[in-house]
Structure 1
Amino acid sequence: MTTMQAWLKQAADEERDRVAKAAGTSVGYLYQIAGGHRKASPELCKKLQDATDGVLTVSMIRPDLYLLIVGADPKSAA
C-alpha cells in the first residue's frame, strides 16, 4: 500500500473532498493516482502537498519528479 493509498483510507470523506477541491481535482482521480492508474502532474503534486499541509509530499506522490526537481534521492533527504 502506498502512502497516498493509506492517506485515502484513513482520511474522512470530508477531508478527501476538501483536499480534492483545493487541488482542483476529484476524489476519484486521487484514487486513480494512488492506484498507479494515473500520474499526477507536477502542479497537482504541489497542490496536494499544500492542501494536506505536507502530509502528502511531492516525493511521496511522484518520486520520479522529486529526483528531477532536486536531483537527490528522496530517501536520503529524510
Structure 2
Amino acid sequence: MVQVLKTLGRMLPDHLSPLETLQFIISQSLCLAFPNTVIALLLLLTSFIKIKLIKGYLRSQMSQERLNALALLTIE
C-alpha cells in the first residue's frame, strides 16, 4: 500500500486538496489503478461533509459532549 501511495504521489501535482486529488484521479482515468485510494478519499470527503452539517445546523442547540458523540456516530 505504501508503494502505491508513493507512485500516486509522484503522479500528482503539488498541493492538492483531497477533493482535487480525487478529481485528478478520475480525470486521468486512474480509478482502476488506485481503487483503495479512491475509496479512502470518498470516505474522508463524506466525513467532512457530515461534520459540517452537524456543526452548522445543530451546533447552536447542543453541548460539546453531544456534538462529539454525534460526530463519532456519523463517521462510524
TM-score relative to the length of structure 2: 0.31
Instruction: Pick the structure with more helix per residue.
Output: 2
